[in-house]
C-alpha cells in the first residue's frame, strides 16, 4: 500500500486523483531484455504522460545479443486482454507490434475495427532483411490489419515486401509509400533506418494528400535496439494526446532521435535507446551522442 502524505490538503488530494489522462494500448510481444516490445512501448507512453495498457501476444527470451525462444499466447488470450481494457478503461490510441502468426493477426484485426487511432508497426522483416513471420502471417497482416491502420510504419524491407518494389533511392521510397497506401491505411511512413549513406534515417510520409520527406539528425550509435517499437509507440502516444497524424509522427521522430543520443551501453550486444533521457541527462549532461 502506498503511504499518503499527511500534510497534503484533502482538496488537493481530490484534485490529483481526478486529473484525466490519455490512454494508449500496445498489442505486442514481451522482450525479456527490456529494450523493445511491450517494455519499450510502456516506457514510451509513460514519457509522454500517457497511461499505457497492454495485450501481450508472445513471450520472448532475449537479450542484447539475440532471441533464444519465442512462445505465442493463444489468440483468445490476446483478445481477452484487449476486451478487458476496452470495456473498462478505454483508450485514445493503439499500436501493434509483433503479432507473430496469422491466427493472432486475424483476431486482433477483428478487435481493431472498433479501436481508435491504430498505429501498425508491421514487424515482418528485421532491419537487416530477415523475415520474422511466415508467409501466411504476412498475408493476414496485409489483407486484414493494414487496411485498418491510421498510420503504418514499415521499414525498408517491409516496404519492399508490401509494395513489391526494390528500394535503393529516395524516389524508390516515395514510390513504395504511394503504392503501400493503396492497401488501405490512412497514412504510411516508410522508415529509412535500414538505408545507407545520406538516406539512413530519412523517412517518407504519404497520406494521399502529402508526400513528404522527413529528416532528423543521424545519431551514430550501435545501441539502437527497440527503435521501431519506440517510434510507433511514440506516434500512438502523440495521437492519444490529440495531435494530428503528421505532427504525431514528427514529434515521435524527434523523441527517438533524442533517445538515441542517450542509448544504453548494456549487455554484450546491441543496447536499447534511452527512453527516459531527461533522467540520463541529469546524471550525464553530455549524453552519448557522438
- pLDDT at residue 95 above 50? yes
Radius of gyration of the chain (CA): 19
**pLDDT value at residue 4:** 52
33 is catalytic: no
Tens of pLDDT, residue by residue over 55-87, are 999 999 999 998 999 999 999 999 999 999 999
Active site residue 227: yes
Q: Name the burial class of residue 2, with classes exposed (0-12), middle (13-18) and buried (19+) by CB atoms within 10 angstroms of its CB.
A: exposed
pLDDT band at 5 (very low <50, low <70, confident <90, very high): low
CA-CA distance, 15 to 95, in Å (whole number)? Answer: 30
In eight-state DSSP terms, residue 288 is: S
**Residue 90 pLDDT more than 50?**
yes
Res 239: pLDDT: 98
pLDDT of 288 strictly over 80: no
The Cα–Cα gap between 258 and 278 comes to 10
Residue 285: pLDDT band by 50, 70, 90 thresholds? Answer: low
Instruction: Determine which one of 58, 95, 191, 271 is catalytic.
Output: 191
Q: How many CB atoms lie within 10 A of CB 234?
A: 29
Catalytic one among 29, 37, 226, 271?
226
Confidence of residue 254 (pLDDT cuts 50, 70, 90): very high
Identify the active-site residue in 227, 230, 257, 258: 227
Is the pLDDT assigned to residue 290 strictly greater than 50? no
Query: Given this model, what pLDDT does residue 93 score?
Result: 98
Alpha helices in 5-71 (DSSP H): 10-17, 37-47
Respond yes or no: is residue 153 known to be catalytic.
no
For residue 199, the model assigns a pLDDT of 87
Which domains does the chain show, CATH number per domain? Answer: 78-283 (3.40.1190.20)
User: Could you confirm whether 226 is annotated as catalytic?
Assistant: yes
Q: What is the dihedral of CA 106, 161, 257, 243, to 10 degrees?
A: -50
Q: Is 224 a catalytic residue?
A: yes
Of residues 247 and 278, the one with the higher pLDDT is 247
Q: Which of 46-55, 178-187, 268-277 has the lowest mean pLDDT?
A: 268-277
pLDDT tens-digit series, residues 99-131: 999 999 999 999 999 999 999 999 998 766 678
Predicted local distance difference test score (pLDDT) of residue 197 = 81
Q: So what's the pLDDT on residue 289? A: 43
Confidence at 144, pLDDT banded by 50, 70, 90: very high
Amino acid at each position: 500500500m502506498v503511504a499518503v502524505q499527511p500534510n497534503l490538503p484533502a482538496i488537493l488530494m481530490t484534485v490529483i486523483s481526478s486529473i484525466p489522462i490519455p490512454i494508449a494500448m500496445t498489442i505486442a510481444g514481451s522482450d525479456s531484455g527490456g529494450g523493445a516490445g511491450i517494455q519499450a512501448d510502456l516506457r514510451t507512453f509513460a514519457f509522454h504522460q500517457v497511461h499505457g495498457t497492454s495485450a501481450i501476444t508472445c513471450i520472448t527470451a532475449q537479450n542484447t545479443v539475440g532471441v533464444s525462444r519465442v512462445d505465442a499466447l493463444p489468440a483468445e488470450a490476446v483478445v481477452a486482454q484487449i476486451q478487458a481494457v476496452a470495456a473498462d478503461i478505454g483508450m485514445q490510441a493503439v499500436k501493434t507490434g509483433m503479432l507473430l502468426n496469422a491466427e493472432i493477426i486475424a483476431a486482433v484485426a477483428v478487435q481493431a475495427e472498433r479501436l481508435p487511432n491504430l498505429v501498425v508497426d508491421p514487424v515482418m522483416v528485421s532491419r537487416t532483411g530477415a523475415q520474422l513471420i511466415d508467409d501466411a502471417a504476412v498475408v493476414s497482416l496485409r489483407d486484414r490489419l493494414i487496411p485498418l491502420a491510421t498510420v503504418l510504419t514499415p521499414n525498408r524491407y517491409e516496404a519492399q515486401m508490401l509494395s513489391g518494389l526494390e528500394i535503393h533511392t529516395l524516389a524508390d521510397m516515395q514510390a513504395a509509400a504511394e503504392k503501400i497506401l493503396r492497401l488501405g491505411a490512412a497514412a504510411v511512413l516508410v522508415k529509412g533506418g535500414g538505408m545507407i549513406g545520406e538516406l539512413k534515417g530519412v523517412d517518407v510520409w504519404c497520406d494521399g494528400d502529402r508526400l513528404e520527406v522527413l529528416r532528423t539528425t543521424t545519431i551514430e550509435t550501435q545501441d539502437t535496439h527497440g527503435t521501431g517499437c519506440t517510434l510507433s509507440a511514440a506516434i500512438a502516444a502523440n495521437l492519444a494526446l490529440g495531435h494530428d497524424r503528421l505532427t504525431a509522427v514528427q514529434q515521435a521522430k524527434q523523441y527517438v532521435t533524442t533517445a538515441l543520443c542517450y542509448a544504453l551501453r548494456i549487455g554484450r550486444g546491441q543496447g536499447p535507446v534511452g527512453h527516459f533521457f531527461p533522467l540520463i541527462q541529469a546524471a550525464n549532461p553530455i549524453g552519448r551522442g557522438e
